[in-house]
C-alpha cells in the first residue's frame, strides 16, 4: 500500500516542480504563527486521476492542480514540503457524459505522518466529460505527391498491412472510414519501389493492431499504355474436319498495352485462328477469331465479322 502511494505521489515531476515554485512564493509571505503556535501555508497540489474504466476516456480538459491550505505547527514547517502532497480523484464510477466531482479533504494524500490539518481546498468541485471508447478496423489509403517519370504510369499500390484496428472516442472513431499515410513522393520514379510510411491519426485515436511505427507501401510503376491498330492480319483454321471456306480471310484489330511492348509489336506476334471443333456442316458468322497475344495486351476491338461455310464434304 505504501509503495502504491509513493508511486502516485512521485508521478508527474513537472507538476510537482510547479507546485513547489508556487508553494515557495506563498511560503515567503506566510502569516506569523497564531496563539496555538500554528502557521497556515498554501500549496498548489497536482491532481492525479485513477481507476478510469477501460471503455471510457476524459474528453474535457481535466484540472491539473488545486489550491490546498493547511495548518502546521510552526516548529514543523520545514517538514511540509509540497512534494509530499497529492490530490487523487477516483474515477471508478464514471459513466459516459458530464459528471461533477466534489473536492474535499479526503482526496488529498500526504506521504508521511507530519502533523498538518487541511483547512481549505479550491476549487470546491470540478466537472469532467467522459466518452465511450470504441474500436474499429479501417483500410490504409496511400497519399502521393509528384508525378512518375515521363512515359510511365502508377499501376498499383499495395499497403502492408492493408487494414489496421484503431481505438478512440466514439464520436471521432465512428466517423473514420480510412486512415491516410503521410505523403509519399513519387516524383520521376520509373520502377517498382517499396517505401516505409507513417499514418496520420485523428486526435485522441490510437492504433491497436498492428501497432508499429512504419507501414510498407508497395508501389508498382508501369510503362504508359498506348493503342496500336493492326490491319489485314491473316486468319488460320484449326480442328478442320470438313471442307471450309471463310470470308474475309483477314481481320483488323485495335490493341492496348505498355508503350515499351507495343512499340516493338508486329503482325507476326499476333496469332489468330477459328476453331472448327464441333461445328457441323452449315453457315456461321463468327464475330471475331481467337487471338493469342501476350497477357499484358488488351483487345479493344476486332473487325469485321467472319462468315464461315462448313461444307458436307470431308477432308480426305
Parallel/antiparallel/unpaired status of strands 179-180 and 125-141: parallel
Architecture per CATH, domain 225-314, reads as Beta Complex (2.170)
pLDDT of residue 20: 46
pLDDT of residue 7: 45
pLDDT of residue 8: 43
Residue 36's pLDDT band, with cuts at 50, 70 and 90, is low
Q: 294 and 257 in contact (C-beta within 8 Å)? A: yes
pLDDT of residue 12: 52
Please state which of the four CATH numbers 2.60.120, 2.170.120, 2.40.160, 2.40.50 is assigned to the domain occupying 2-123. 2.170.120
Out of 11-25, 183-197, 253-267, which region has the weakest mean confidence (pLDDT)? 11-25
Alpha-carbon distance 31 to 72, whole Å?
Answer: 12
pLDDT reading at 250 higher than 90: yes
For 53-79, write each residue's pLDDT tens digit. 989 989 888 989 999 888 888 887 777
- Ranges of CATH 2.170.120.30 domains, the chain: 225-314
Q: 249 and 236 in contact (C-beta within 8 Å)? A: no
- Ranges of CATH 2.170.120.40 domains, the chain: 135-223
Peptide bond before residue 274 is cis, with ω within 30 degrees of 0? no
Global pTM exceeds 0.75: no
Angle in degrees, CA 23, 90, 5, rounded to 5: 60
Provide the CATH number for the domain formed by 135-223 in this structure. Answer: 2.170.120.40
Amino acid at each position: 500500500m505504501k509503495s502504491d502511494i509513493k508511486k502516485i505521489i512521485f508521478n508527474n515531476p513537472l507538476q510537482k516542480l510547479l507546485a513547489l515554485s508556487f508553494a515557495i512564493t506563498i511560503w515567503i509571505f506566510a502569516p506569523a504563527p497564531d496563539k496555538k503556535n500554528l502557521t497556515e501555508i498554501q500549496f498548489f497540489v497536482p491532481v492525479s486521476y485513477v481507476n478510469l474504466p477501460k471503455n471510457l476516456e476524459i474528453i474535457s480538459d481535466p484540472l491539473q492542480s488545486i489550491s490546498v491550505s493547511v495548518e502546521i505547527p510552526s516548529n514543523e514547517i520545514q517538514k511540509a514540503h509540497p512534494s509530499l502532497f497529492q490530490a487523487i480523484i477516483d474515477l471508478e464510477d464514471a459513466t459516459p457524459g458530464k459528471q461533477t466531482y466534489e473536492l474535499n479533504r479526503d482526496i488529498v494524500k500526504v506521504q508521511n505522518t507530519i502533523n498538518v490539518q487541511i483547512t481549505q481546498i479550491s476549487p470546491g468541485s470540478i466537472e469532467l466529460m467522459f466518452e465511450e471508447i470504441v474500436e474499429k478496423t479501417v483500410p490504409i489509403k496511400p497519399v502521393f505527391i509528384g508525378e512518375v517519370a515521363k512515359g510511365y504510369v502508377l499501376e498499383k499500390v499495395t499497403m502492408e498491412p492493408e487494414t489496421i484496428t484503431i481505438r478512440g472516442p466514439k464520436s471521432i472513431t465512428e466517423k473514420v472510414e480510412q486512415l491516410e499515410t503521410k505523403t509519399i513522393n513519387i516524383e520521376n520514379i520509373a520502377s517498382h519501389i517499396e517505401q516505409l510510411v507513417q499514418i496520420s491519426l485523428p486526435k485522441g485515436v490510437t492504433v491497436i493492431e498492428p501497432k508499429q511505427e512504419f507501414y510498407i507501401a508497395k508501389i508498382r510503376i508501369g510503362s504508359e499504355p498506348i493503342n496500336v491498330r493492326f490491319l489485314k492480319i491473316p486468319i488460320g483454321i484449326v480442328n478442320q474436319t470438313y471442307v471450309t471456306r471463310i470470308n474475309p480471310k483477314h481481320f483488323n484489330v485495335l490493341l492496348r498495352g505498355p508503350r515499351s511492348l507495343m512499340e516493338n509489336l508486329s503482325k507476326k506476334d499476333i496469332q489468330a485462328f477459328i476453331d472448327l471443333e464441333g461445328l457441323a456442316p452449315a453457315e456461321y458468322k463468327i464475330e471475331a477469331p481467337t487471338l493469342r497475344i501476350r497477357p499484358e495486351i488488351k483487345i479493344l476491338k476486332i473487325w469485321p465479322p467472319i462468315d464461315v461455310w462448313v461444307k458436307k464434304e470431308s477432308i480426305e
